[in-house]
Amino acid sequence: MKTRARLEGYDLIGDVHGCGATLAALLEKLGYHQRGGVYRHPRRRVIFLGDLIDRGPRIRLAVRIARRMVEEGEAHIVMGNHEVNALAYCHPAPGGLGRDWLREHSPRHNRIIMETLEQYRDHPQEWEDALAWFMDIPLCLERDGLRVVHACWDQPLIDELRLARPDACIDRNFLVDSATPGTRAFRILDRLTRGIHIPLPAGMAIHSGDGYTRRSFRAHFWAEAPCTWGDVVFQPDNLPGELEQRSLSSDERAMLSHYGVDQPPLFIGHYWCEGVPALPAPNIACLDYSAVKFGRLVAYRWSGERRLDADNFTWLSVPREEQTRPRPWEIDLD
């Protein structure tokens, strides 16, 4: 048996959202090579930050690449809110919930998962297998001195989750419970995979670049002593009007989590940042740079450092026509 070289570090990869060919190209750029349908690096492993599916042109390819790597021990992955959504959308609701599916098939929810269902339409068994695999993906990871979660590292909730589930994985009961707001399961899934949302004043809305209307904004969790909404907002859309200066109420303050600079390095996705990757805090990197909106598919090459370094970001810009990207070289993933 071949002895593997010592592990030098992890390459963390942000929200892929169906940009499967770009993912293959990014892995090649990072020095991974594909053999027998599995990308491997002699001295490194990948950690995916979740949200493999929805929106992009090669969702099945993205899932296959990630899944093969995870199953072969070449990668780890945490659950994104889009995988949570797919699981709830495709899971029949138990009696008493007053709907057919855990996640209602409303026009808004239909739209979120539309591309995924379309691309799997002629591959129903493959979609069932993908859903079964999503169920096995943990909500967070902590290993070798780093931490990974899709949206928000909330220590009390993570402690609570791990107490019941040391592997940080959900199951069907947990998923069913999470469909009812106010349950612990709802709170844990929502906070870890969707982060903190602060509701806008009544009647106000943000019309986002992605075509959705939102009545809350995304807040981050690393401000030392935040006073205003502007101190915690973390999303590409500006707050309407003068809301940047609005003071955080004590209720809103109580909703926030805080991740201190003395904590281990933390990697998140989710927040579809724009522009050139930058570090929001010395120990936090967000790797979602809107790949599927023709932004960048971003990786961070981590080799054990406690203070992160923006020079360790690597990325590929996503071409407008991802279909024009060469097919990922003879990848035999069937």
Q: Which spans of this chain sit near Mn ion (rule: CB under 5 A)?
A: 15, 51
In this complex, which beta carbon is closest to Mn ion, that of residue 56 or of residue 265? 56
Closest approach, Cβ 14 to Mn ion, in A, equals 8
In this complex, which beta carbon is closest to Mn ion, that of residue 216 or of residue 247? 216
In this complex, which beta carbon is closest to Mn ion, that of residue 206 or of residue 286? 286
In this complex, which beta carbon is closest to Mn ion, that of residue 80 or of residue 328? 80
CA torsion angle 210 18 27 87 (round to 10): 110
Nearest-CB residue to Mn ion?
Answer: 51
- What kind and span of H or E run contains 40? strand 38-40
What value, to the nearest 5°, has the Cα angle with vertex 294 and ends 288 and 300?
35
* Through-space distance between the first and last CA atoms of the chain, rounded to whole angstroms: 26
In this complex, which beta carbon is closest to Mn ion, that of residue 84 or of residue 168? 84
Closest approach, Cβ 247 to Mn ion, in A, equals 30
Angle between helices 81-89 and 184-194 (to 10 degrees): 140
Query: Alpha-carbon distance 230 to 115, whole Å?
Result: 34
- What kind and span of H or E run contains 86? helix 81-89
Give the closest residue to 79 by CA, choosing from 176, 21, 152. Answer: 152
Closest approach, Cβ 319 to Mn ion, in A, equals 19
Contact 263, 283 (CB under 8 A): yes
Closest approach, Cβ 49 to Mn ion, in A, equals 9
Closest approach, Cβ 80 to Mn ion, in A, equals 6
In this complex, which beta carbon is closest to Mn ion, that of residue 51 or of residue 115? 51
Beta pairing partners, 39: 34
In this complex, which beta carbon is closest to Mn ion, that of residue 154 or of residue 288? 288
In this complex, which beta carbon is closest to Mn ion, that of residue 113 or of residue 176? 113
- Token pair for 165: 């589930």
Going 157 to 160 to 161 to 166, the CA torsion angle's sign is: positive
* Phi, psi (degrees; rounded to nearest 5) at 40: -135, 150
Closest approach, Cβ 82 to Mn ion, in A, equals 6
Closest approach, Cβ 193 to Mn ion, in A, equals 9
How many angstroms separate the Cα of 78 from the Cα of each of 141, 151, 167, 189, 307? 7, 10, 11, 12, 22
Closest approach, Cβ 139 to Mn ion, in A, equals 15
In this complex, which beta carbon is closest to Mn ion, that of residue 195 or of residue 265? 195
What value, to the nearest 5°, has the Cα angle with vertex 178 and ends 61 and 99?
90
Closest approach, Cβ 326 to Mn ion, in A, equals 25
Beta strands in 200-289 (DSSP E): 206-207, 213-214, 216-219, 266-268, 284-286, 288-289
